[in-house]
Amino acid sequence: AGVPIVGTRPEAIDLAEDRGRFGQVLVNAGLPAPKFGTATSFDEAREIASAIGYPVLVRPSYVLGGRGMEIVYDEKTLHGYITRATQLSPEHPVLVDRFLEDAIEIDVDALCDGTEVYIGGIMEHIEEAGIHSGDSACALPPVTLGRSDIDAVRRATEAIAHGVGVVGLLNVQYALKDDVLYVLEANPRASRTVPFVSKATAVPLAKACARVMLGASISQLREEGLLARHGDGSNPDPNAPIAVKEAVLPFRRFRRMDGSGIDSLLGPEMKSTGEVMGIDHDFGSAFAKSQTAAYGSLPNSGTVFVSVANRDKRSLVFPVKRLADLGFRVLATDGTAEMLRRNGIPCSIVRKHFEDPGEGRPALTALDAINAGEVDMVINTPYGNSGPRIDGYEIRSAAVAANIPCVTTVQGASAAVQGIEAAIRGDIGVRSLQELHAALGGP
């Protein structure tokens, strides 16, 4: 139609979406990415998954919101996914990526004028990689990343912006595992996190992007005061407040036909319908505010039910111990209770809902306790396609129906404990964004 396109050219957008061509950009820049392949049949998908190793992340090409995306742990499940979710053809391939378990996911919003790159913000996800970025809570600035990690993120983002040919906004998602920074994907457009970053940092990224797309340079916008005159989101003021973005998930609004709740388990397909922000001088207070805004306050006392996958038991000792020290009563299933007691954490045992009440087994089940209103928070971490993932379905659904917090990741449990501690201290104040930004010398 001859309409001029300002900003990033359509060819650059297509390059970022084409895994083969974008993969070559990463190779040229020396940036690692999870091993991947593109399949147009089940046989091809099976060969790729066998070569790179399970678990794998499978999804259709050219999708938003993680639509149709799934973590697959074995060949049988892969066949089911291909049969159920896709219609493969050379025009509609499926992408198969190596899934990085126990990795820290990082989100970056950046602005590029074709030459200089301005980092708007680096966000550290609270949930591990594998939870869709739209459903994961995140902290800005990052709370556990070291200086070397942040420098690596900056260098990688600059290389991607120049390699793709971005003129405008760019969002890049990374996974940090064993001190290696992997590139997950890059989108040369404004992401859903741009409003959050702009509100947290007092930098109007959308306005700056519009100016850049129309020909302004980043150095010019710095001189005008639209962008920070010195530095950017990769080196924030050490006194900057911490902002936490939390997803608003609609689980409580939906019920199954029998009136029971639905599963609150998060995964690679986006389920959230909105977002909120909490901001304060420390992470615990900011996280507590975000939970209050999204779901209601975290409990300051009462009973917490704990049932976790074997691989998570060691990591959850300290969060659960802290809850017990704060005065919470702990309920747990048999295996989890044994581990907690070995670590000096007093707890009461409840039976799994599918277990028969036998000799020596408690009469009360986890579902009984939740449905009777005796539980104030649930910590249930699933794993794989069977075992704890399926066993915990009824527990998580009951928690949703009872309108109580249900935490399904180790990282989420640790963050919740910090939020509860801040609330108990009474350390949560209210300040306007204008006050916070003025204290930093912002607009």
**Nearest CA to 172 among 191, 200, 146?**
191
Q: What are phi and psi of 29, to 5 degrees?
A: -90, -5
In a domain, 15, yes or no: no
Question: Which CATH number fits the domain that encloses residue 88?
Answer: 3.30.1490.20
Total domains in the chain come to 3
Q: What are phi and psi of 22, to 5 degrees?
A: -65, -35
The answer on 74 and 174 residing in a single domain is no
pLDDT of the chain, 443 residues: tens digit per residue: 678 889 999 999 999 988 789 999 999 999 999 998 888 888 999 999 999 998 898 887 655 544 577 888 889 989 888 887 667 667 778 889 898 888 999 999 999 999 999 999 999 999 877 778 788 899 999 999 999 999 999 999 999 999 999 999 999 999 999 999 999 999 999 999 999 999 999 999 999 999 999 999 999 999 999 999 888 999 888 888 899 999 887 766 665 555 555 566 677 777 778 899 999 989 999 999 999 998 888 999 999 999 988 888 999 999 999 999 999 999 998 889 999 999 999 999 998 876 766 666 677 888 899 999 999 999 998 755 544 444 577 788 888 888 889 898 899 999 999 999 999 998 788 888 888 877 665 54
Per the CB < 8 A criterion, the answer to whether 15 and 25 are in contact is yes
53 in helix, strand or coil?
A: coil
In a domain, 274, yes or no: no
The answer on 363 and 331 residing in a single domain is yes
In a domain, 421, yes or no: yes
The answer on 115 and 74 residing in a single domain is no
Q: What are phi and psi of 198, to 5 degrees?
A: -65, -40
In a domain, 50, yes or no: yes
Beta bridge partners of 92: 89
List of residues 6+ apart from 85 with CB closer than 8 A: 60, 68, 70
Per the CB < 8 A criterion, the answer to whether 175 and 182 are in contact is yes
| Domain hosting residue 76, numbered range | 35-98
Among all chains, which residue has been given the structure tokens 């291909």? 82
According to DSSP, residue 103 is labeled P
Last residue of a domain, one of 98, 119, 148: 98
pLDDT at 408: 86
Q: What are phi and psi of 243, to 5 degrees?
A: -110, 140
In a domain, 72, yes or no: yes
Q: Rounded to whole angstroms, how far apart are CA atoms 233 and 201?
A: 8
Q: Rounded to whole angstroms, how far apart are CA atoms 264 and 254?
A: 11
Assign residue 284 a region: left if phi > 0, alpha if psi is -120 to 50, beta otherwise? alpha
Give the alpha-carbon dihedral of 182, 185, 191, 196, to 10 degrees.
Answer: -10
Q: Rounded to whole angstroms, how far apart are CA atoms 193 and 134?
A: 9
